[in-house]
Amino acid sequence: MKSAIITGGTGMIGCSLAEHLIKENVEVYVVTRPNSKRINMLPRHPLLKVLECDLDNLDSFNPDGLHAVDAFFHLGWEGTTGEDRNNFYLQNKNVKYTLDAVGLAQRLNCTSFVFAGSQAQFGRVSGLLDGNLPSKPETAYGVGKLCAESMSRLLCNRLNIKHCSARILSIYGPNDGENTLVSYAIRKMLKGEETSFTPCEQKWDYLYCKDAAKALYLIALNGKHDGVYCLGSGKAEELKQYVETIKNIINPSAKVGIGNVPYAPNQVMMLCADITDLKKDVGFEPDYSFDEGILETINWWKNKLL
């Protein structure tokens, strides 16, 4: 792989992917909103170029002087949090954006298209998640992801572009949103403020963002055509153990309000990836334990909050 293009490149995973591609000596083109406030999150490097374009203009986007790119990573998506996850009309727009991304991939002569899917496509599952499980999404977001994945796969097949889907579970690290469980816990504890959580009995699979970036890169390189890969560490612990780890690093005497918040309706209690195919097909192995990744994340938040 000599070149790659990323939509949604200013998010946590996109930034990490850009950094990983640069380490692999890949020329990176990051598509961002015009005047995006998150552009400064991207690494500054001669191999990285920013292309300004909204998702709703991808269908007519023709970057000047750019005619051939090896891989396309479609991470861009609107409405990933809060009430927007059940905004049916917004989620439906994302299906069009995904097909527009495939069209751009064709115009750029890409040979590989990687779609960023989600565990939300599965719905509630009590066992390990793998690409062969039936999909029963329970949110508009999950339905939108499933539809976008399926339609982009069909379109890529027609255009002779390799299509792979990475169904992402729980990624953490620098540049993450402020209100994810990990970010919330770190921010509150660093400020010396009390925290409140559910009983935290859910068993969760967390993957560090740098490992997620490596996995996406390997999927583009080695993933099977039409392959569906679940992106996780392959290990799950109760959420209370992750919270305890964060507390013990920041302040072992911090007050942690485990059980102060009730579970949400239809709470998912098990979220763990079966990464057998990810290991076998693309050669992925996580480099970071949770302890290692969370220490880097805490240090990043310390600098941000200074």
CA distances (Å), origin 37, targets 34, 41, 221: 9, 9, 31
Q: Which residue has the higher pLDDT, 294 or 125?
A: 294
Residue 78 CB neighbours (<10 A): 16
Q: What is the pLDDT of residues 124-172, one digit of tens each?
A: 998 999 999 999 999 999 999 999 999 999 999 999 999 999 999 999 9
- Say if strands 162-168 and 112-118 run parallel, antiparallel, or are unpaired: parallel
Domain positions in the chain: 3-171+207-232+275-280, 173-204+235-273+288-305
What amino acid occupies position 302? Answer: K
Is the predicted pLDDT of residue 37 greater than 90, yes or no?
no
> What confidence score (pLDDT) does residue 266 get?
83
Average pLDDT rounded to a whole number, residues 279-298: 97
DSSP-assigned states of every residue in 74-123: E---S--SGGGGG-HHHHHHHHHHHHHHHHHHHHTT-SEEEEEEEGGGT-
Is the predicted pLDDT of residue 306 greater than 90, yes or no?
no
Report the candidate in 117, 276, 257, 120 with the shortest Cα–Cα distance to residue 200: 257
> What confidence score (pLDDT) does residue 192 get?
94
> What confidence score (pLDDT) does residue 35 get?
87
> What confidence score (pLDDT) does residue 265 get?
86
Q: What is the mean pLDDT of the chain?
A: 96
Report the candidate in 134, 130, 144, 251 with the shortest Cα–Cα distance to residue 189: 251
Average pLDDT rounded to a whole number, residues 87-101: 98
Q: Which fold has domain 3-171+207-232+275-280?
A: Rossmann fold (3.40.50)
Report the candidate in 50, 4, 51 with the shortest Cα–Cα distance to residue 23: 4
CA distance 2 to 279: 23
CA distance 210 to 73: 16
Average pLDDT rounded to a whole number, residues 289-304: 97
CA distances (Å), origin 293, targets 8, 14, 84, 253: 22, 17, 29, 22
> What confidence score (pLDDT) does residue 279 get?
97
User: CB neighbours of 212 closer than 8 A, spacing ≥ 6?
Assistant: 13, 16, 17, 168, 171, 231
Average pLDDT rounded to a whole number, residues 265-280: 94
Q: Which fold has domain 173-204+235-273+288-305?
A: UDP-galactose 4-epimerase; domain 1 (3.90.25)
Entry pTM: 0.96
Q: What is the pLDDT of residues 188-247, one digit of tens each?
A: 999 999 999 999 999 999 999 999 999 999 999 999 999 999 999 999 999 999 999 999
